[in-house]
C-alpha cells in the first residue's frame, strides 16, 4: 500500500468512528438497538437540558430508540448504575450494546459529523409524530391495581376483621406501570 492510500484510510477511520471504538456495556435488550437513559425531572437544569439535547438529536435522525427515565422507574436507575459500576448521572446513550457517553460526548460526535455513522443500521421510527394514545408519550401509566398508592388491601385470615396493607406487586415505587401500548 502506498502512502497516499494509507493516509486516506487513516483519515476515513478518524472521520467515521466504528462502534467497536466504544466500550461494550450492553443494557438489557440493547444488543441491536439504541437505549437512552434520561430523566424527566427538571430540578437540575443542566441535566434536564442535556437529556433534552440528546433526545432532540435522536429524534432528528428519526431512529427508533428506547428511552429509560431513571426518575420514573428505579429499576432503570439501578440498571444504569450496575452497568456503569457506580452512580452516574443521565443522560447516557448506548448504541448496539456500546456505551457512547453522556451529553458532551454525544453532542461532540454530532458536531464532528460522526454520530450519524454510529446510528447506521438502526431501524427508523414510524413517521407518526403523535404521542401514544395510552400514556401521552410518558411511557408510564397509573397502576390499575392500586390506583397509584403502591398498596393493596388483603384480608389477613379471611374473616374480614384484620385487613393487611401490602405492597402492590404490579407497580413501581411511584405507583406506575409501563404503558402496555408503547413499551
Q: Which residues neighbour 169 within 8 Å (Cβ) at sequence distance 6 or greater?
A: 145, 152
Q: Give the residue, 152 or 102, on which the prediction is more confident.
A: 102
Q: Could you please report the per-residue DSSP string of 21-51?
A: GS-B---TT-TTSEEEEE----SSHHHHHHH
> Prior bond to 76 cis, omega within 30?
no
Please give the mean pLDDT across all residues of the chain.
85
What's the CATH superfamily of 20-119? Glutaredoxin (3.40.30.10)
Residues of each domain in the chain carrying CATH 3.40.30.10: 20-119
**pLDDT single digits (tens) 2-52:** 454 444 434 444 555 789 999 999 999 999 999 999 998 888 889 999 999
**pLDDT single digits (tens) 153-182:** 776 665 556 677 788 999 998 999 999 888
pLDDT for 16:
56
Amino acid at each position: 500500500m502506498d502512502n497516499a492510500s494509507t493516509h486516506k484510510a487513516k483519515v476515513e477511520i478518524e472521520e467515521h468512528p466504528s462502534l467497536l471504538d466504544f466500550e461494550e456495556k450492553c443494557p438489557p435488550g440493547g444488543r441491536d438497538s439504541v437505549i437512552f437513559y434520561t430523566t424527566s425531572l427538571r430540578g437540575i437544569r443542566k441535566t434536564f437540558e442535556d437529556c433534552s439535547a440528546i433526545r432532540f438529536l435522536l429524534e432528528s435522525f428519526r431512529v427508533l430508540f428506547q428511552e429509560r427515565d431513571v426518575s420514573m422507574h428505579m429499576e432503570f436507575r439501578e440498571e444504569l448504575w450496575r452497568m456503569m459500576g457506580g452512580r452516574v448521572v443521565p443522560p447516557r446513550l448506548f448504541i448496539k450494546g456500546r456505551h457512547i457517553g453522556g451529553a458532551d460526548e454525544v453532542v461532540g460526535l454530532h458536531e464532528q459529523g460522526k454520530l450519524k455513522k454510529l446510528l447506521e443500521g438502526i431501524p427508523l421510527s414510524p413517521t407518526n409524530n403523535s404521542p401514544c394514545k395510552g400514556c401521552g408519550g410518558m411511557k408510564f401509566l397509573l397502576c390499575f391495581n392500586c390506583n397509584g398508592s403502591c398498596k393493596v388491601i388483603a384480608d389477613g385470615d379471611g374473616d374480614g376483621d384484620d385487613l393487611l396493607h401490602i405492597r402492590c406487586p404490579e407497580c413501581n415505587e411511584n405507583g406506575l406501570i409501563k404503558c402496555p401500548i408503547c413499551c
